[in-house]
Amino acid sequence: MPRTIRFDRDQEELQFEGTCRQYRDVEGYVFHESELTQFKAVDLRHALQSAARLYEADEMDVFIVEGDEDEFDDEWSPPGPVQISLQKGTLVVQIHVITKVEEFNEETLPDVYRAILAPYLARRRAALRDIEMTVDYHASTFVWRIDIECNLRNRLVRELYEIGSGAIALLEAAESGELTRETTIELLRAGRVDVLIGQPEGPWLDVKSAHYDLNTQHGKISIAQAVARFANAEHGGIVVVGMRGKRFPAGEVIHSVCPVPLDGRTLRRYHNALEHHLYPPPISLISRSSPRDQGRGLSFSIFHLSPRNLSPFLSMGR
């Protein structure tokens, strides 16, 4: 089967889908993000390995330009924060995250980044390989370069780019507190429940300080109603048990963490209550404890709706 992208040694250029790309002096090869769906990750690795052998280089970089495709120029368009790099024969995703000087501890921040990214990357067949700080004196900021190694099997280069983009969004959300449903789910999985403190409850986020009373019919129906409300919503939502809200004139705000005990029996009772009082059950319901407080914290996360054109509704039967 022909490769989706290849390096032509005679022309000294990458070739794909009738298009060629030459090495840009000092920087590397430059692509627009929309082009990344055209070739496989393993083919790009092979092409860069061929180029590296010709130039006797240990590293070959592919820079990715974001934004309007019509304005893309592979010679002049500035690259974005995600790039693909061949390092001693291994293809890695390289991202750059900016941190203000006064807002971080140089010694501890790498460990924080590792803890946040580890579960996110593991579910995407990837792993954090290296973190290195560089300094941008013009912007008076510190730039962290993070290398991510991905499993390349059956993947397009576009998927590697999206892993890098998602990692940046996740780290920026953790620092800025500007959360989305997706970044909140990832941060909860990483044990960062603290990022929710000060956040308002709203259309996709609800917290409860204690377990629902699953010994009563009222408690079972209450959890089913909470899940059904988000499952019926267009983009789903999150219910977190183990946090306390506080009412202000502008609305309810998450005030503090109050971990609750969790064991396998309690988890099964939650699932049983939802199976008996929610029909049809949500396609994707994940309930788990925080990895930092095993056995103490519990979160329910609704990621998708039920079967297409059929939203969940509450059943009041036994």
Backbone angles phi and psi of 193, in degrees to 5: -65, -20
For residue 215, pLDDT over 90 is answered with yes
3-state secondary structure the chain: CCCCCEEECCCCEEEECCEEEECECCCEEEEEHHHHHHCEHHHHHHHHHHHHHHHCCCEEEEEEECCCHHHCCCCCCCCCCEEEEEECCEEEEEEEEEEEHHHCCCCCHHHHHHHHHHHHHHCCCEEEEEEEEEEECCCCEEEEEEEEEECCCCCEHHHHHHHHHHHHHHHHHHHHCCCCHHHHHHHHHCCCHHHHCCCECECCEEEECCCCCCCCHHHHHHHHHHHHHHHHCCCCEEEEECEEEEEECCEEEEEEECCCCCCHHHHHHHHHHHHHHEECCCCCEEEECCCCCCCCCEEEEECCCCCCCCCCEECCCC
**Contact (CB, 8 A) for 174 and 114:** no
Give dist(CA 2, CA 36) in Å, integer. 17
Of residues 276 and 83, the one with the higher pLDDT is: 83
* Chain-centre distance for alpha carbon 176: 15
Closest Cα partner for 236 from 317, 172, 165, 180? Answer: 180
Model confidence over 168-200: pLDDT tens digits?
999 988 887 788 888 888 888 777 777 788 888
**Alpha-carbon dihedral of residues 108, 165, 154, 92, nearest 10 degrees?**
-50
Q: Has residue 75 got a pLDDT over 80?
A: yes
Determine the Cα–Cα distance for residues 206 and 100; give it in Å rounded to an integer.
31
pLDDT of residue 295: 47
Residue 38: what pLDDT? Answer: 94
Sketch the domain layout of the chain as residue ranges. Answer: 6-176, 198-314
- Give the burial string for 90-112 (b: 16+ CB within 10 Å, else e): ebbbbbbbebeeeebeeeebbeb
CA torsion 282-284-287-289 (nearest 10°) is -160
- In this structure, the chain runs to a length of 318
The tally of CA atoms less than 13 A away on the side-chain side of residue 231 is 29
- pLDDT bin (cut points 50, 70, 90) of residue 307 is very low
99 pLDDT band, cuts 50/70/90, is confident
- Cβ pair 230, 277 in contact under 8 A: no
Average the pLDDT over 32-41 and give the result: 96
| Token pair of 13 as six digits | 């250029």
**pLDDT computed for residue 135 by the predictor:** 67
End-to-end CA distance of the chain: 58
What percent of the chain is predicted at pLDDT more than 70?
A: 83
pLDDT class for 283, splitting at 50, 70, 90? low
b/e map 247-265, b = 16+ CB within 10 Å: eeeeeebbbebebbebeee
Confidence class for position 292, pLDDT limits 50, 70, 90: very low
pLDDT tens digits along 255-272:
888 888 777 788 888 888
Q: What is the pLDDT of residues 226-235, one digit of tens each?
A: 888 887 777 7
Angle formed by the axes of helices 181-189 and 157-176, nearest 10°: 80
Distance separating alpha carbons of residues 110 and 178, to the nearest angstrom:
21
- Cβ neighbours of 122 (radius 10 Å): 12
Q: What's the whole-model pTM score?
A: 0.77
Give the mean pLDDT of the chain.
83
